[in-house]
Structure 1
Amino acid sequence: MLRDTFKHKGKRQQLAAIVEAKGVKDAKVLEAIRTIPRHLFMDSSFEDHAYQDKAFPIAADQTISQPYTVGFQSELLEIKKGDMVLEIGTGSGYQTAVLCELGAKVYSIERQRELYRKTKLFLSKIGYRPKHLSFGDGYKGWPEYAPFDKIIVTAGAPYVPKPLLAQLKVGGRLVIPVGDKVQVMTLFIRKSAKEFEKREFGDFRFVPLLEDRN
């Protein structure tokens, strides 16, 4: 049962206020957090916790990211309506929904087949229509649709995959958590064909980004 009640909506207002208090100021990002029924993206046994600012387990040993982290990454991307955005790690689809709310054309890749199937079905059920969802290896990016205006990686990467930098438009932004046990949120802005500006924004914790070893 996909129920979204006044109580849920009230809790979302509170959640957006918490995320804003922690430093996310982008009005459109906060509005997306107020709009999207996060409880529906989680196992019903976690429903009471859906609007806490915490990460929670979902299928395939993955987690739904902390709302503050989703807000922080989304704000760093500076999405404009119509931007082509590559998302590495569809996961529960919550970040995907935020990108859709921001007006992005979303191309999203998920490495876990079970999660990919479940999320693809679920997003269309609640009315979110990413341009393309794919099951595959995010380290390779998505060359067929490149270049992208923005790229977001939603899992911890031990290094920055070169194909992702290569698939970014000049002027484009890549947001990626880099590191093994603890990740540093890192922003790359493509200044020219060969030149990237790099900025770092503190420590976060993510589940690891899985690479296809075959």
Structure 2
Amino acid sequence: MKTYRIYINDHTLYIAANVPELVEEIEQLTVLGFNFQTFYKQLGNLPGKSFLLLTEDPKAVFTKIKESCLIIKAAGGLVSSSKGNYLFIFRNKKWDLPKGKVEKGERMKEAAVREVEEECGVKISTNDEKLCKTYHVYTLGAKIVLKKTNWYRMTVKGEPKLVPQKEEGITKASWLSKTELEPVVANTYPSIMDVLEAGELLPQRVL
């Protein structure tokens, strides 16, 4: 049965039928009467930790959480070059992967290609499988947003020069090999770690 993972700043909320086999400590929450809006507000500036909603029907609980939030869809890519290197960007003082919001009437896969091409100045050659979905929560005005991002595996011909889209806050774009990921792992978002695991650039965490 699927385990859902929602990132909230430095916190992680798991929704699962079994207790995840995790390294870090996890606080179990009661599903009965759980209100996501209240839970989110109570987190405030608390230090990051992991929480678990243990339920026989993770999908139903996750659906209820989605219904309480404003949903924003985004899409991005894990891009490899002909030399076997991977495309990373540096934005807001963290390593990231190119991604962006899906426009009205646009398919997720199309949005992923458009965003990668706009943010890095490359031409995508192939847009293959969907690697994974990630979810993270933030505040937009008075609303709590749940952003769903679909991630796709992509390739380019050769290894083109990268042109970071500075108006989007991207200060650097780089091709990195699997052996050069240490700075990325040390300074990126938990959701990006999920994508790197799905793309087999990092070992899979046990869940």
TM over 0.5: no
Q: Which has more strand, going by share of residues?
A: 2
Q: TM-score range by the shorter chain?
A: under 0.3
Larger relative helix fraction: 1
- Higher gyration radius (CA): 2
Q: Report the TM-score when normalising by structure 1.
A: 0.25
Q: TM-score, normalised to structure 2's length?
A: 0.26
Task: Determine which structure has greater relative contact order: mean sequence separation of CA pairs < 8 Å that are 6+ residues apart, divided by chain length.
Answer: 2
